Amino acid sequence: MAKCILHFDQIEIISKKSDAAHSDNDWLIVHWFVGTDLKESHTIPLKNTSGSTILESGQTLQPLSLEVACVDADLVTAVFQIVNLGSTDIAAQVQAIGKIAQKGAETFAEVYLTIAAKVLPLTPTPAGEIIGQAIELFKPLLVDGVGAAFEEIIIPFFSDVAEFVSGVLGKPNCNGDVLHDVAIFDPGQPASFQIQTISKVYTGSTSSFCGNPRTMVTLTLERIPEVVPVFPPTPVLQWQMVPAKGESADNWLGTWTSGPAGPRAFVAVTISRSTVEAGAYALTVEEITDPRFNAEFEAADAVDWPETVLVRPFKGNVFGTIKPWVSGIMSPGDLTLAAYAATAKVQTMELAGSGMGAGSLSGSAGVMLSPLSTGVTIPGSSAPAVALDLAWHRPKNAIVTRPSGDPVRAGGAAFPGVYGFDEVDAFVMEGKGVTLCFYNFMQGQSLIARCLRYMRAESSSFTAADVSLGKFTVL
């Protein structure tokens, strides 16, 4: 079975719909139509990159993807809308969004059938299917019909939903439409299917005492064709990705990539013998996190030899993404309650007197709070003090640990008693946050191919990346 996928790659709130004193709670509604039939409807609460549904201007929302099953010859469309329910109590939002989605499903289904009734008699097709010339007549009428339905029926319907009134004095009702549109997946042959990426800034409706909503959305429309088997099914090749240790780094010379360059994220690493430093390796890294915005990370270094490091097991490709400008490399965590003991540091101070002789005075240099496990407790002050500490979430390093002392040549380090992690030889690009780990694809005891694991730590501009790179050449 084929399928169409609608990727919401990036949703950025340029300015929210709510007033300055309140936040947005945005919901995404998507109605999937295959031909003229409504197949599925989705209602999804949108979250920012921190995982919160409390949304403010300047924030970027988490990407998401939705799909529907179809056949290659189907005309597939997705009618989508983002609405703000920030003026409605959280408990009532689920019921309210359900009413809006139900009204939209009924309205758009009627729009599709009305347009089909006009188009199909003009272009006779088998069993009422929308094909050929009918599609070209259908699409512009559909866009106009859906747009009119939003303006004349769906948006006015907001005022009929009782839950929209918050009931809080002095709080404006800023619920309503943030943006709406329709995405069209053309039918055809698999060879004609292409990934289409669209970026657009939407300006939503506004209300008294509320904000002027503006949202930048980047969509990718992807159509996966039907897979027609030509040969009988064969056993799946069983292989494992095994950390390499003690092998020559020359086995990983060359250019390693995450795949062909295109509209998606891309990583390329080149390892070569240095022409400047005898015996050293020259490393260059090119990571394109988002080709639409020319967002790239580049690094170069020369290293003498690989080290043996301990890293977390590979769980699948995780490409880096652009972090919103409001994000920092560290984020505040939970408040914790900690007990402290009052301690003192005692020192001796020499006093010079005039006419009274010289003397000495032992005095306290001041009381300070320190953890219970350290410091000298003041006699008579055994009761601990209680204070609130703010924890911080720090970015995880790609390397769990490294051998102490000088770097160890490949295969020379060991981590006895450590389980659940990979001991692997790697090039560590000091100061760049990049680790290039050596792996082999093994089938039993046989080497199938080599692999280079690209690990980059989180930075102030990009999220962390962990991607398997290959030459795609079977040994």
Distance, CA of 203 to CA of 121 (rounded, Å):
37
Q: Which two tokens stand for residue 463?
A: 């999220």
pLDDT above 80: residue 466: yes
pLDDT per residue as tens digits for the range 262-291: 677 899 999 999 998 888 999 999 999 888
Distance, CA of 24 to CA of 84 (rounded, Å):
6
pLDDT per residue as tens digits for the range 27-56: 999 999 998 899 999 999 999 999 999 999
Distance, CA of 163 to CA of 175 (rounded, Å):
10
pLDDT per residue as tens digits for the range 6-28: 999 999 999 999 988 899 999 99
Residue spans of the domains in the chain: they are 2-224, 240-324+396-469, 331-349+360-393
**β-pair type (446-456, 359-371):** unpaired
Distance, CA of 361 to CA of 66 (rounded, Å):
77
Q: Quote the pLDDT of residue 303.
A: 93
Share above pLDDT 90 across residues of the chain, in percent, rounded to a whole number = 40
Q: How many CA atoms lie within 13 A of 464 on its CB side?
A: 15
| DSSP per position, 451-474 | EEEEEE---SSB--EEEEEB----
Backbone angles phi, psi at 128, to 5 degrees: 75, 15
Q: Quote the pLDDT of residue 155.
A: 83
Task: Kindly give the interhelix angle for 133-149 and 90-119, rounded to the nearest 10 degrees.
Answer: 140
For the chain, the distance separating the N- and C-terminal CA atoms, rounded to the nearest angstrom, is: 34
Virtual CA dihedral for 457, 462, 463, 466, nearest 10 degrees? -60
The owner of tokens 């994000």 is 327
Q: How many CA atoms lie within 13 A of 106 on its CB side?
A: 8
Distance, CA of 467 to CA of 68 (rounded, Å):
28
Q: Which two tokens stand for residue 346?
A: 């005692």
pTM for the structure as a whole: 0.50
Buried b (16+ CB within 10 A) or exposed e, 57-74: bebbbeebebebebebeb
Distance, CA of 397 to CA of 27 (rounded, Å):
35
Task: Tell me the CA distances in angstroms from 432 to 4, 140, 302, 449, one per residue in order.
Answer: 39, 51, 12, 28
* Cβ count within 10 A of residue 451: 20
Nearest-5° Cα angle at 138, 133 to 143: 145
- Residue 47 CA to chain centroid, in angstroms? 11
pLDDT per residue as tens digits for the range 363-410: 333 333 334 434 444 444 455 566 666 666 555 555 555 554 444 343
Give mean pLDDT, residues 455-459: 90
pLDDT per residue as tens digits for the range 187-196: 877 777 778 8
